[in-house]
Amino acid sequence: MPTWKVTLEYDGTRYRGWQSQKNTDRTVQGMLLRAAHELLGADVACGAAGRTDAGVHALAQVAHLKAHKAMPESEIAWGLNERLPADINVLAVEKAPPRFHARHDAKSRTYFYRVSRRRTAFEKPFVWWVKDPLDAAAMRRAAKLFEGRHDFASFCENPEGQESTLVVVEKCEVVEVGQEIHFRITASHFLWKMVRRLAGTLVEVGRGNLDAAGIEKLLREKSSAPAKWTAPPSGLFLEKVVY
């Protein structure tokens, strides 16, 4: 069965996330499968490197696509884009080994989150506008505390349902870009809602409601506090997947 590595971008605003669901066809995977079925026939399977949540976007999501029908990569990319809605776009299609799996074979994933310091007429679906003054330097220092191997149970939805809440964060940084503050994090994997809760926690630091000692305590002792700080999905992007 031919296998391809598909890189795609999407605006997640209208979708219930990546993962196909029984009660709705409004998912990114559902849209990609429907396009692939029309192009390559009924016997098609696909999966992604990251199961982005409802409203979350991707700049370079990676999926594997398997089908019995062979076709040149350029024709697959063109054919899928002809059948996909405007807010989902295939960037590249590459031939992959038969056993390639987008999620299991990924070595790291990078997400970034956009916080806007100003009201915007055009960017609302892609940022979180925080009206309060934010101390970006304090947020930058706090972000470094997340690097390394930590138990992120405090930052996970349903930690009891996870095999493990231990995650090794390779890099975590906060940078100022014009009127925005960007939070970027790289790790081998992420827990459910982990990045949004980390982003919300850093905003609490920026507001002056939380300090370094508070961050360290959240990593040391399980707490439900970050749940109420969960950042909205609008500002979150899956930026890169490394194999």
Domains delineated in the chain: 3-96 (3.30.70.580), 108-242 (3.30.70.660)
Read off the DSSP letter of residue 159: G
Q: What percent of the chain has pLDDT over 70?
A: 100
Instruction: Give residue-wise pLDDT tens across range 199-232.
Output: 999 999 999 999 999 999 999 999 999 999 999 9
Instruction: Give residue-wise pLDDT tens across range 26-52.
Output: 999 999 999 999 999 988 999 999 999
The angle that helices 194-207 and 136-144 make with each other, rounded to 10 degrees, is: 140
Q: Of these residues, 43, 53, 87, 135, which one is catalytic?
A: 53
Residue 41 has which token pair?
A: 């026939």
pLDDT at 170: 98
pLDDT at 25: 75
pLDDT at 216: 96
Instruction: Give residue-wise pLDDT tens across range 79-103.
Output: 999 999 999 999 999 999 999 999 9
Instruction: Give residue-wise pLDDT tens across range 144-198.
Output: 999 999 999 999 998 888 889 999 999 999 999 999 999 999 999 999 999 999 9
Mean pLDDT, rounded, of the chain: 96
pLDDT at 160: 84
If phi over 0 gives left and psi between -120 and 50 gives alpha, with beta otherwise, what is residue 89? beta
53 catalytic per annotation: yes
Nearest to 65 by CA among 38, 84, 93, 88: 93
Q: How confident is the model at residue 67 (pLDDT cuts 50, 70, 90)?
A: very high
Per the DSSP assignment, residues forming a β-bridge with 96 are 3
Q: What percent of the chain has pLDDT over 90?
A: 94
Residue 165 has which token pair?
A: 């809440």
Nearest to 168 by CA among 137, 183, 146, 184: 146
